[in-house]
Amino acid sequence: MATTDQINERIAAFARALAAEMGEVDDSDALSWLDAIETKAVEIGDAVSVELVRQKSTDRPAADEESSCPKCGQLSRYRGHRERELVSRRGPLTIREAEYFCPCCRKAFFPDDQGDRR
Amino acid sequence: MTRAIGVDVDCPFTPAMLRKVTYAGSQSASFVQATRDLEVLAESKVSRERVQRWTKRVGEERVKEAKTLADAYQALPLPEQQQSPTTQVPQVACVMMDGGRIQVRDRGQAQREGSGYWKESLVGCCLSMVSQQHARDPSPTISKTFVDPQRMRDLSREIKGISTSAEEADVPSEEFPDDRQGRPEVLVRSVVATRAGQDALGSRLVAEAHARGFQAARRKAFVADGSATNWSVHKKYFSHYIPILDFTHAICYVYTAAMVGQLSKAAWDDYVRWAQWLWEGAVDKVVAALAVRAKELGRPPDGDETSPAAIVAKTLGYLQNGRSRMKYHEYRRLGLPITSSHIESTIKQINRRLKGTEKFWDQGAEPLLVLAADHLTETNRLVQFWKNRRKRLPSMRHYQTAG
Protein backbone atom coordinates (compact mmCIF):
# COMPACT_ATOMS: atom_id res chain seq x y z
CA MET A 1 0.00 0.00 0.00
CA ALA A 2 1.30 3.45 -0.90
CA THR A 3 2.35 5.72 1.96
CA THR A 4 0.73 9.10 2.54
CA ASP A 5 3.89 10.84 1.28
CA GLN A 6 3.86 8.78 -1.92
CA ILE A 7 0.19 9.55 -2.49
CA ASN A 8 0.80 13.27 -1.88
CA GLU A 9 3.64 13.23 -4.43
CA ARG A 10 1.35 11.59 -7.02
CA ILE A 11 -1.36 14.17 -6.33
CA ALA A 12 1.12 17.05 -6.70
CA ALA A 13 2.38 15.64 -10.02
CA PHE A 14 -1.20 15.10 -11.23
CA ALA A 15 -2.15 18.66 -10.23
CA ARG A 16 0.90 20.13 -12.01
CA ALA A 17 0.04 18.27 -15.20
CA LEU A 18 -3.61 19.25 -14.97
CA ALA A 19 -2.79 22.93 -14.31
CA ALA A 20 -0.58 22.99 -17.41
CA GLU A 21 -3.28 21.37 -19.56
CA MET A 22 -6.14 23.52 -18.29
CA GLY A 23 -4.79 26.81 -19.54
CA GLU A 24 -6.72 29.97 -18.63
CA VAL A 25 -9.76 29.48 -16.40
CA ASP A 26 -12.88 31.34 -17.49
CA ASP A 27 -13.81 33.70 -14.65
CA SER A 28 -16.57 35.64 -16.42
CA ASP A 29 -19.34 34.13 -14.24
CA ALA A 30 -17.30 33.88 -11.05
CA LEU A 31 -16.91 36.24 -8.10
CA SER A 32 -13.22 36.60 -8.95
CA TRP A 33 -10.37 34.81 -10.65
CA LEU A 34 -9.60 32.99 -7.39
CA ASP A 35 -13.25 31.99 -7.02
CA ALA A 36 -13.21 30.50 -10.53
CA ILE A 37 -10.03 28.51 -9.78
CA GLU A 38 -11.40 27.27 -6.45
CA THR A 39 -14.69 26.16 -8.05
CA LYS A 40 -12.84 24.26 -10.77
CA ALA A 41 -10.46 22.68 -8.25
CA VAL A 42 -13.36 21.52 -6.06
CA GLU A 43 -15.12 20.01 -9.10
CA ILE A 44 -11.97 18.07 -9.96
CA GLY A 45 -11.49 16.99 -6.34
CA ASP A 46 -15.08 15.78 -6.15
CA ALA A 47 -14.74 13.83 -9.40
CA VAL A 48 -11.52 12.21 -8.18
CA SER A 49 -13.19 11.27 -4.87
CA VAL A 50 -16.20 9.70 -6.56
CA GLU A 51 -14.01 7.80 -9.01
CA LEU A 52 -11.72 6.56 -6.25
CA VAL A 53 -14.66 5.21 -4.22
CA ARG A 54 -16.09 3.57 -7.34
CA GLN A 55 -12.74 1.92 -8.15
CA LYS A 56 -12.23 0.67 -4.61
CA SER A 57 -15.78 -0.68 -4.39
CA THR A 58 -15.36 -2.69 -7.59
CA ASP A 59 -12.03 -4.23 -6.64
CA ARG A 60 -13.38 -5.70 -3.40
CA PRO A 61 -13.01 -9.50 -3.00
CA ALA A 62 -15.20 -11.64 -5.23
CA ALA A 63 -18.46 -12.88 -3.73
CA ASP A 64 -18.75 -16.43 -2.44
CA GLU A 65 -21.08 -18.77 -4.28
CA GLU A 66 -23.09 -19.27 -1.11
CA SER A 67 -23.75 -17.29 2.04
CA SER A 68 -25.78 -18.00 5.18
CA CYS A 69 -29.13 -16.26 5.45
CA PRO A 70 -29.00 -13.81 8.41
CA LYS A 71 -32.58 -14.74 9.35
CA CYS A 72 -32.81 -18.55 9.14
CA GLY A 73 -29.16 -19.52 8.73
CA GLN A 74 -29.81 -21.58 5.57
CA LEU A 75 -27.20 -21.51 2.80
CA SER A 76 -28.38 -19.12 0.14
CA ARG A 77 -27.54 -18.65 -3.50
CA TYR A 78 -25.46 -15.80 -4.98
CA ARG A 79 -27.58 -13.88 -7.49
CA GLY A 80 -25.03 -11.53 -8.89
CA HIS A 81 -23.94 -7.98 -8.18
CA ARG A 82 -26.33 -5.03 -7.92
CA GLU A 83 -25.38 -1.47 -8.56
CA ARG A 84 -26.45 0.95 -5.88
CA GLU A 85 -26.66 4.73 -6.15
CA LEU A 86 -25.64 6.62 -3.02
CA VAL A 87 -25.32 10.30 -2.21
CA SER A 88 -21.88 10.93 -0.77
CA ARG A 89 -20.25 14.03 0.66
CA ARG A 90 -18.78 14.63 -2.79
CA GLY A 91 -21.92 13.94 -4.81
CA PRO A 92 -23.66 10.89 -6.26
CA LEU A 93 -21.68 7.70 -6.65
CA THR A 94 -22.32 4.10 -7.60
CA ILE A 95 -21.11 1.09 -5.67
CA ARG A 96 -21.63 -2.63 -6.32
CA GLU A 97 -23.01 -5.12 -3.83
CA ALA A 98 -23.25 -8.93 -3.91
CA GLU A 99 -26.88 -10.07 -3.65
CA TYR A 100 -28.00 -13.42 -2.29
CA PHE A 101 -31.42 -15.04 -2.19
CA CYS A 102 -32.72 -17.25 0.61
CA PRO A 103 -35.18 -19.85 -0.75
CA CYS A 104 -36.66 -20.47 2.71
CA CYS A 105 -37.35 -16.84 3.65
CA ARG A 106 -37.89 -15.88 -0.01
CA LYS A 107 -35.98 -12.71 0.59
CA ALA A 108 -32.92 -11.08 -0.89
CA PHE A 109 -30.08 -10.14 1.42
CA PHE A 110 -26.77 -8.41 1.17
CA PRO A 111 -23.93 -9.72 3.33
CA ASP A 112 -22.13 -6.40 2.80
CA ASP A 113 -24.84 -4.74 4.90
CA GLN A 114 -24.37 -7.04 7.84
CA GLY A 115 -22.55 -5.09 10.49
CA ASP A 116 -18.79 -4.95 10.72
CA ARG A 117 -17.31 -8.30 9.73
CA ARG A 118 -13.70 -7.31 10.04
CA MET B 1 -15.19 -12.52 3.06
CA THR B 2 -16.34 -9.04 2.15
CA ARG B 3 -16.25 -6.01 4.42
CA ALA B 4 -19.36 -4.24 5.62
CA ILE B 5 -20.13 -1.00 3.82
CA GLY B 6 -22.03 0.31 6.84
CA VAL B 7 -25.08 1.52 4.93
CA ASP B 8 -28.69 0.52 5.69
CA VAL B 9 -30.20 -1.61 2.95
CA ASP B 10 -32.59 1.18 1.99
CA CYS B 11 -30.41 4.18 2.79
CA PRO B 12 -29.55 6.52 -0.08
CA PHE B 13 -26.54 8.05 1.70
CA THR B 14 -23.01 7.05 2.53
CA PRO B 15 -22.39 6.86 6.31
CA ALA B 16 -20.64 10.25 6.41
CA MET B 17 -23.39 11.89 4.38
CA LEU B 18 -26.07 10.40 6.64
CA ARG B 19 -24.35 12.06 9.59
CA LYS B 20 -24.51 15.41 7.82
CA VAL B 21 -28.18 14.94 6.89
CA THR B 22 -29.05 13.99 10.47
CA TYR B 23 -27.13 16.94 11.84
CA ALA B 24 -28.90 19.37 9.52
CA GLY B 25 -32.31 17.80 10.15
CA SER B 26 -31.98 18.06 13.91
CA GLN B 27 -30.19 21.41 14.13
CA SER B 28 -31.68 23.60 11.43
CA ALA B 29 -34.89 25.48 12.23
CA SER B 30 -36.96 23.12 10.04
CA PHE B 31 -36.55 20.28 7.56
CA VAL B 32 -36.96 22.75 4.69
CA GLN B 33 -34.21 24.89 6.19
CA ALA B 34 -32.07 21.77 6.58
CA THR B 35 -32.21 21.10 2.82
CA ARG B 36 -31.13 24.70 2.19
CA ASP B 37 -28.33 24.46 4.74
CA LEU B 38 -27.08 21.24 3.18
CA GLU B 39 -27.09 22.82 -0.26
CA VAL B 40 -25.22 25.93 0.84
CA LEU B 41 -22.83 24.47 3.41
CA ALA B 42 -22.33 20.88 2.25
CA GLU B 43 -22.97 21.60 -1.46
CA SER B 44 -25.35 18.62 -1.55
CA LYS B 45 -28.91 18.56 -2.81
CA VAL B 46 -31.13 16.43 -0.56
CA SER B 47 -34.92 16.64 -0.64
CA ARG B 48 -36.91 17.72 2.44
CA GLU B 49 -38.63 14.33 2.53
CA ARG B 50 -35.33 12.48 2.67
CA VAL B 51 -33.94 14.76 5.35
CA GLN B 52 -37.11 14.28 7.42
CA ARG B 53 -37.32 10.51 6.93
CA TRP B 54 -33.68 9.82 7.77
CA THR B 55 -33.38 12.28 10.63
CA LYS B 56 -36.39 10.62 12.26
CA ARG B 57 -35.05 7.15 11.53
CA VAL B 58 -31.71 7.90 13.19
CA GLY B 59 -33.51 9.67 16.04
CA GLU B 60 -35.66 6.58 16.64
CA GLU B 61 -32.50 4.50 16.87
CA ARG B 62 -31.13 6.93 19.45
CA VAL B 63 -34.39 6.76 21.44
CA LYS B 64 -34.11 2.98 21.50
CA GLU B 65 -30.46 3.15 22.53
CA ALA B 66 -31.23 5.62 25.34
CA LYS B 67 -33.99 3.32 26.65
CA THR B 68 -31.68 0.31 26.50
CA LEU B 69 -28.98 2.13 28.48
CA ALA B 70 -31.53 3.27 31.06
CA ASP B 71 -32.87 -0.30 31.42
CA ALA B 72 -29.33 -1.66 31.72
CA TYR B 73 -28.62 0.76 34.56
CA GLN B 74 -31.84 -0.17 36.36
CA ALA B 75 -30.92 -3.86 36.05
CA LEU B 76 -27.60 -3.33 37.86
CA PRO B 77 -27.36 -4.52 41.48
CA LEU B 78 -27.49 -1.62 43.95
CA PRO B 79 -23.76 -1.71 44.87
CA GLU B 80 -22.84 -1.43 41.19
CA GLN B 81 -25.26 1.45 40.68
CA GLN B 82 -23.42 3.33 43.38
CA GLN B 83 -20.00 2.74 41.84
CA SER B 84 -18.45 4.69 39.03
CA PRO B 85 -17.81 2.79 35.78
CA THR B 86 -15.11 5.33 34.93
CA THR B 87 -11.99 6.55 36.70
CA GLN B 88 -12.83 10.14 35.79
CA VAL B 89 -14.94 11.33 38.71
CA PRO B 90 -15.96 15.00 38.74
CA GLN B 91 -15.11 17.24 41.67
CA VAL B 92 -18.70 18.48 41.69
CA ALA B 93 -21.49 16.48 40.02
CA CYS B 94 -24.52 18.57 39.24
CA VAL B 95 -27.84 17.45 37.74
CA MET B 96 -30.38 20.04 36.62
CA MET B 97 -33.82 19.54 35.10
CA ASP B 98 -36.76 21.59 33.89
CA GLY B 99 -39.75 21.39 31.58
CA GLY B 100 -40.17 22.90 28.15
CA ARG B 101 -43.22 23.09 25.93
CA ILE B 102 -43.80 22.03 22.35
CA GLN B 103 -46.93 21.69 20.22
CA VAL B 104 -48.05 18.12 19.61
CA ARG B 105 -50.97 17.45 17.29
CA ASP B 106 -52.59 14.15 16.52
CA ARG B 107 -53.71 14.49 12.91
CA GLY B 108 -56.97 12.66 13.58
CA GLN B 109 -57.88 14.84 16.54
CA ALA B 110 -60.05 17.95 16.57
CA GLN B 111 -58.54 21.25 17.78
CA ARG B 112 -58.24 21.36 21.56
CA GLU B 113 -59.56 24.00 23.88
CA GLY B 114 -57.61 25.78 26.60
CA SER B 115 -53.88 25.20 26.28
CA GLY B 116 -54.34 24.07 22.67
CA TYR B 117 -51.65 21.69 21.50
CA TRP B 118 -48.94 22.68 23.96
CA LYS B 119 -47.47 19.67 25.76
CA GLU B 120 -44.66 19.36 28.22
CA SER B 121 -41.26 18.04 27.28
CA LEU B 122 -38.65 17.38 29.96
CA VAL B 123 -34.99 18.24 29.74
CA GLY B 124 -32.17 17.40 32.11
CA CYS B 125 -28.45 17.95 32.06
CA CYS B 126 -25.47 16.45 33.82
CA LEU B 127 -22.75 19.00 34.51
CA SER B 128 -19.29 18.19 35.78
CA MET B 129 -17.94 21.18 37.68
CA VAL B 130 -14.91 22.45 39.57
CA SER B 131 -15.07 24.71 42.63
CA GLN B 132 -13.48 25.29 46.00
CA GLN B 133 -15.07 24.46 49.34
CA HIS B 134 -14.84 27.14 52.03
CA ALA B 135 -14.93 27.29 55.82
CA ARG B 136 -17.72 29.86 55.59
CA ASP B 137 -19.93 31.46 52.91
CA PRO B 138 -17.46 33.21 50.54
CA SER B 139 -20.11 35.57 49.21
CA PRO B 140 -22.44 36.56 52.07
CA THR B 141 -23.86 39.69 50.39
CA ILE B 142 -26.41 39.30 47.61
CA SER B 143 -25.14 39.91 44.06
CA LYS B 144 -25.88 43.27 42.44
CA THR B 145 -27.94 41.69 39.67
CA PHE B 146 -30.68 40.67 42.18
CA VAL B 147 -30.96 44.17 43.64
CA ASP B 148 -30.97 45.97 40.30
CA PRO B 149 -34.52 47.33 39.90
CA GLN B 150 -34.53 47.19 36.11
CA ARG B 151 -33.07 43.68 36.03
CA MET B 152 -35.55 42.41 38.62
CA ARG B 153 -38.48 43.92 36.72
CA ASP B 154 -37.32 42.08 33.56
CA LEU B 155 -36.62 38.83 35.40
CA SER B 156 -39.98 38.86 37.13
CA ARG B 157 -41.78 39.52 33.85
CA GLU B 158 -39.86 36.69 32.14
CA ILE B 159 -40.19 34.07 34.86
CA LYS B 160 -43.43 34.93 36.66
CA GLY B 161 -45.16 36.86 33.88
CA ILE B 162 -45.95 39.71 36.27
CA SER B 163 -45.10 43.36 35.60
CA THR B 164 -44.43 45.69 38.50
CA SER B 165 -44.25 49.49 38.76
CA ALA B 166 -41.05 51.25 37.71
CA GLU B 167 -40.88 54.14 40.12
CA GLU B 168 -38.10 52.94 42.38
CA ALA B 169 -34.45 53.92 41.98
CA ASP B 170 -32.96 52.52 38.78
CA VAL B 171 -29.38 52.05 39.95
CA PRO B 172 -28.38 49.35 42.47
CA SER B 173 -26.29 50.46 45.41
CA GLU B 174 -22.51 50.06 45.13
CA GLU B 175 -22.41 48.09 48.40
CA PHE B 176 -23.47 44.93 46.56
CA PRO B 177 -20.83 42.78 44.79
CA ASP B 178 -21.02 42.37 41.01
CA ASP B 179 -21.01 38.62 41.14
CA ARG B 180 -20.99 35.66 43.48
CA GLN B 181 -17.50 34.74 44.71
CA GLY B 182 -16.51 31.06 44.34
CA ARG B 183 -19.08 30.25 41.69
CA PRO B 184 -18.48 26.71 40.30
CA GLU B 185 -17.16 26.40 36.76
CA VAL B 186 -18.77 23.96 34.30
CA LEU B 187 -16.40 21.52 32.61
CA VAL B 188 -18.59 19.19 30.52
CA ARG B 189 -22.32 19.18 29.87
CA SER B 190 -24.42 16.28 28.65
CA VAL B 191 -28.12 16.62 27.91
CA VAL B 192 -31.14 14.29 28.07
CA ALA B 193 -34.58 15.22 26.72
CA THR B 194 -37.87 13.39 26.30
CA ARG B 195 -41.61 13.71 25.94
CA ALA B 196 -42.18 10.30 27.50
CA GLY B 197 -42.75 11.59 31.04
CA GLN B 198 -40.84 12.02 34.28
CA ASP B 199 -39.96 8.36 34.74
CA ALA B 200 -38.42 8.18 31.28
CA LEU B 201 -36.41 11.34 31.94
CA GLY B 202 -35.41 10.24 35.44
CA SER B 203 -34.24 6.79 34.38
CA ARG B 204 -32.26 8.14 31.41
CA LEU B 205 -30.78 10.99 33.45
CA VAL B 206 -29.62 8.74 36.27
CA ALA B 207 -28.12 6.29 33.75
CA GLU B 208 -26.26 9.20 32.14
CA ALA B 209 -25.06 10.46 35.54
CA HIS B 210 -23.85 6.96 36.41
CA ALA B 211 -22.01 6.55 33.10
CA ARG B 212 -20.18 9.81 33.77
CA GLY B 213 -19.02 8.76 37.21
CA PHE B 214 -21.32 11.16 39.07
CA GLN B 215 -22.28 8.60 41.71
CA ALA B 216 -18.72 8.55 43.03
CA ALA B 217 -18.40 12.35 43.24
CA ARG B 218 -17.99 13.69 46.78
CA ARG B 219 -20.13 16.77 46.16
CA LYS B 220 -23.41 16.20 44.32
CA ALA B 221 -26.23 18.65 43.71
CA PHE B 222 -29.64 18.52 42.06
CA VAL B 223 -30.87 21.98 41.01
CA ALA B 224 -34.38 22.74 39.74
CA ASP B 225 -37.27 25.15 40.14
CA GLY B 226 -40.24 24.40 42.39
CA SER B 227 -42.20 22.20 39.98
CA ALA B 228 -43.47 19.00 41.64
CA THR B 229 -42.26 16.93 38.66
CA ASN B 230 -38.66 17.97 39.29
CA TRP B 231 -38.75 16.97 42.93
CA SER B 232 -40.46 13.65 42.18
CA VAL B 233 -37.51 12.83 39.92
CA HIS B 234 -35.11 13.94 42.66
CA LYS B 235 -36.84 11.76 45.24
CA LYS B 236 -36.93 8.66 43.05
CA TYR B 237 -33.56 8.85 41.27
CA PHE B 238 -31.28 11.41 42.94
CA SER B 239 -32.21 11.34 46.61
CA HIS B 240 -28.53 11.27 47.61
CA TYR B 241 -27.87 14.55 45.79
CA ILE B 242 -28.18 17.82 47.73
CA PRO B 243 -31.50 19.36 46.62
CA ILE B 244 -31.24 23.04 45.64
CA LEU B 245 -34.24 25.14 44.69
CA ASP B 246 -33.23 27.52 41.90
CA PHE B 247 -32.45 30.86 43.55
CA THR B 248 -33.65 32.87 40.56
CA HIS B 249 -37.16 31.44 40.75
CA ALA B 250 -37.28 31.89 44.53
CA ILE B 251 -36.11 35.51 44.35
CA CYS B 252 -38.74 36.28 41.71
CA TYR B 253 -41.46 35.02 44.04
CA VAL B 254 -40.10 37.19 46.84
CA TYR B 255 -39.76 40.19 44.53
CA THR B 256 -43.33 39.90 43.30
CA ALA B 257 -44.72 39.47 46.80
CA ALA B 258 -42.80 42.51 47.99
CA MET B 259 -43.78 44.76 45.11
CA VAL B 260 -47.54 44.10 44.88
CA GLY B 261 -49.98 46.32 46.70
CA GLN B 262 -47.38 48.65 48.25
CA LEU B 263 -45.98 52.06 47.43
CA SER B 264 -42.82 51.69 45.36
CA LYS B 265 -40.14 52.98 47.73
CA ALA B 266 -41.38 51.02 50.75
CA ALA B 267 -41.89 47.93 48.62
CA TRP B 268 -38.37 48.09 47.20
CA ASP B 269 -36.85 48.53 50.66
CA ASP B 270 -38.81 45.47 51.86
CA TYR B 271 -37.67 43.52 48.84
CA VAL B 272 -33.96 44.30 49.31
CA ARG B 273 -34.16 43.23 52.95
CA TRP B 274 -36.02 40.00 52.14
CA ALA B 275 -33.74 39.25 49.19
CA GLN B 276 -30.67 39.48 51.43
CA TRP B 277 -32.33 37.11 53.94
CA LEU B 278 -33.14 34.66 51.18
CA TRP B 279 -29.54 34.88 49.92
CA GLU B 280 -28.32 34.09 53.45
CA GLY B 281 -30.62 31.08 53.63
CA ALA B 282 -32.64 32.76 56.38
CA VAL B 283 -35.93 31.67 54.81
CA ASP B 284 -37.71 31.66 58.16
CA LYS B 285 -37.24 35.44 58.41
CA VAL B 286 -38.79 35.95 54.97
CA VAL B 287 -41.64 33.60 55.83
CA ALA B 288 -42.30 35.51 59.07
CA ALA B 289 -42.32 38.88 57.25
CA LEU B 290 -44.61 37.52 54.55
CA ALA B 291 -46.95 36.02 57.15
CA VAL B 292 -47.40 39.54 58.63
CA ARG B 293 -48.18 40.92 55.17
CA ALA B 294 -50.56 38.06 54.44
CA LYS B 295 -52.44 38.81 57.66
CA GLU B 296 -52.73 42.51 56.73
CA LEU B 297 -54.07 41.67 53.26
CA GLY B 298 -56.49 39.00 54.46
CA ARG B 299 -57.43 35.70 52.89
CA PRO B 300 -57.77 35.84 49.06
CA PRO B 301 -61.13 34.80 47.59
CA ASP B 302 -61.27 31.32 46.01
CA GLY B 303 -60.05 31.28 42.41
CA ASP B 304 -58.27 34.63 42.74
CA GLU B 305 -54.66 34.43 41.54
CA THR B 306 -53.78 38.02 40.75
CA SER B 307 -54.67 40.11 43.81
CA PRO B 308 -51.86 41.13 46.22
CA ALA B 309 -53.35 38.81 48.85
CA ALA B 310 -53.26 35.85 46.45
CA ILE B 311 -49.69 36.56 45.31
CA VAL B 312 -48.42 36.93 48.88
CA ALA B 313 -50.22 33.73 49.95
CA LYS B 314 -48.76 31.81 47.00
CA THR B 315 -45.24 33.03 47.78
CA LEU B 316 -45.67 32.05 51.40
CA GLY B 317 -46.67 28.52 50.36
CA TYR B 318 -43.78 28.34 47.88
CA LEU B 319 -41.19 29.29 50.53
CA GLN B 320 -42.67 27.04 53.21
CA ASN B 321 -42.70 24.05 50.85
CA GLY B 322 -39.20 24.65 49.55
CA ARG B 323 -37.37 25.93 52.63
CA SER B 324 -35.36 22.71 53.07
CA ARG B 325 -33.86 23.33 49.60
CA MET B 326 -32.99 26.98 50.20
CA LYS B 327 -29.86 26.82 52.37
CA TYR B 328 -28.05 29.02 49.91
CA HIS B 329 -25.29 30.11 52.33
CA GLU B 330 -24.41 26.44 52.85
CA TYR B 331 -24.47 25.64 49.12
CA ARG B 332 -22.07 28.53 48.43
CA ARG B 333 -19.79 27.31 51.20
CA LEU B 334 -19.71 23.90 49.52
CA GLY B 335 -19.01 25.49 46.13
CA LEU B 336 -22.30 24.30 44.62
CA PRO B 337 -24.45 26.13 42.06
CA ILE B 338 -27.54 27.94 43.35
CA THR B 339 -29.27 28.74 40.07
CA SER B 340 -30.54 26.53 37.27
CA SER B 341 -29.32 28.92 34.57
CA HIS B 342 -27.56 26.13 32.65
CA ILE B 343 -30.73 24.10 32.18
CA GLU B 344 -32.67 27.26 31.29
CA SER B 345 -30.21 28.05 28.50
CA THR B 346 -30.16 24.40 27.38
CA ILE B 347 -33.95 24.48 26.99
CA LYS B 348 -33.69 27.67 24.95
CA GLN B 349 -31.20 25.94 22.65
CA ILE B 350 -33.51 22.93 22.22
CA ASN B 351 -36.49 25.23 21.64
CA ARG B 352 -34.75 26.76 18.63
CA ARG B 353 -35.41 23.47 16.82
CA LEU B 354 -38.57 22.15 18.50
CA LYS B 355 -40.65 25.08 19.68
CA GLY B 356 -42.60 27.62 17.67
CA THR B 357 -46.18 28.65 17.13
CA GLU B 358 -45.85 27.32 13.57
CA LYS B 359 -44.27 24.01 14.64
CA PHE B 360 -46.51 21.02 15.25
CA TRP B 361 -45.16 17.57 16.03
CA ASP B 362 -46.66 14.12 16.03
CA GLN B 363 -44.77 10.99 16.99
CA GLY B 364 -41.70 12.61 15.40
CA ALA B 365 -41.07 14.87 18.39
CA GLU B 366 -39.30 12.28 20.54
CA PRO B 367 -36.58 11.34 18.01
CA LEU B 368 -35.93 15.02 17.29
CA LEU B 369 -35.81 15.90 21.00
CA VAL B 370 -33.28 13.16 21.63
CA LEU B 371 -31.12 14.23 18.68
CA ALA B 372 -31.28 17.91 19.68
CA ALA B 373 -30.10 16.89 23.18
CA ASP B 374 -27.35 14.74 21.69
CA HIS B 375 -25.99 17.62 19.67
CA LEU B 376 -25.78 19.80 22.78
CA THR B 377 -23.89 17.06 24.61
CA GLU B 378 -20.16 17.57 24.97
CA THR B 379 -19.25 13.94 25.68
CA ASN B 380 -18.50 11.50 22.83
CA ARG B 381 -22.03 10.01 22.96
CA LEU B 382 -22.83 10.65 19.28
CA VAL B 383 -19.39 9.63 18.07
CA GLN B 384 -19.86 6.28 19.81
CA PHE B 385 -23.39 5.93 18.41
CA TRP B 386 -22.18 6.37 14.81
CA LYS B 387 -19.24 4.06 15.42
CA ASN B 388 -21.47 1.28 16.79
CA ARG B 389 -24.34 1.83 14.37
CA ARG B 390 -22.89 -0.29 11.56
CA LYS B 391 -22.94 -3.32 13.86
CA ARG B 392 -26.71 -3.03 14.27
CA LEU B 393 -27.76 -2.52 10.67
CA PRO B 394 -30.56 -4.78 9.42
CA SER B 395 -29.29 -7.22 6.84
CA MET B 396 -32.35 -7.78 4.67
CA ARG B 397 -34.19 -5.51 2.33
CA HIS B 398 -37.74 -4.83 3.44
CA TYR B 399 -39.33 -6.01 0.21
CA GLN B 400 -39.93 -9.64 -0.70
CA THR B 401 -38.60 -10.67 -4.07
CA ALA B 402 -40.16 -13.32 -6.28
CA GLY B 403 -38.35 -16.63 -6.34
The share of chain B scoring above pLDDT 70, in percent, equals 90
Q: Which residue of B has its CA nearest to A102?
A: B403
Mean pLDDT of B54-72: 96
CB pairs under 8 A between A and B: 94
B115 touches chain A (CB under 8 A): no
Q: Which residue has the higher pLDDT, B178 or B63?
A: B63
Per-residue pLDDT of chain A (118 residues; tens, 9 = 90+): 889 999 999 999 999 999 988 888 888 888 898 999 999 999 999 999 988 888 887 766 666 777 888 788 888 888 888 888 899 998 898 888 888 888 888 888 877 655 444 3
Q: What are residue B189's DSSP bridge partners?
A: B127
Q: Which of residues 343-402 of B touch A (CB under 8 A)?
A: 390-397, 400-401
pTM of the shown model: 0.86
Q: pLDDT band at residue B355, thresholds of 50, 70 and 90?
A: confident
Question: What pLDDT, on the 0 to 100 scale, is given for residue B402?
Answer: 45
Question: What pLDDT, on the 0 to 100 scale, is given for residue B399?
Answer: 47
B182 touches chain A (CB under 8 A): no
Q: Which of A61, A103, A116 sits opposite B403 (nearest CB)?
A: A103
Of A55-69, B97-111, B118-132, B293-307, the range with the highest mean pLDDT is B118-132
B13 touches chain A (CB under 8 A): yes
Which residues of chain A have a CB within 8 Å of the CB of B11? 86
A40 CA to chain B: closest CA distance, Å? 14
> Which tens digit of pLDDT belongs to each residue from B67-84?
999 999 999 999 999 888
pLDDT surpassing 80 at residue B170: no
Which residues of chain B have a CB within 8 Å of the CB of A114? 4, 393, 395
Q: Is B20 in Cβ contact with A118 (below 8 Å)?
A: no
Question: What pLDDT, on the 0 to 100 scale, is given for residue B92?
Answer: 97
A98 CA to chain B: closest CA distance, Å? 9
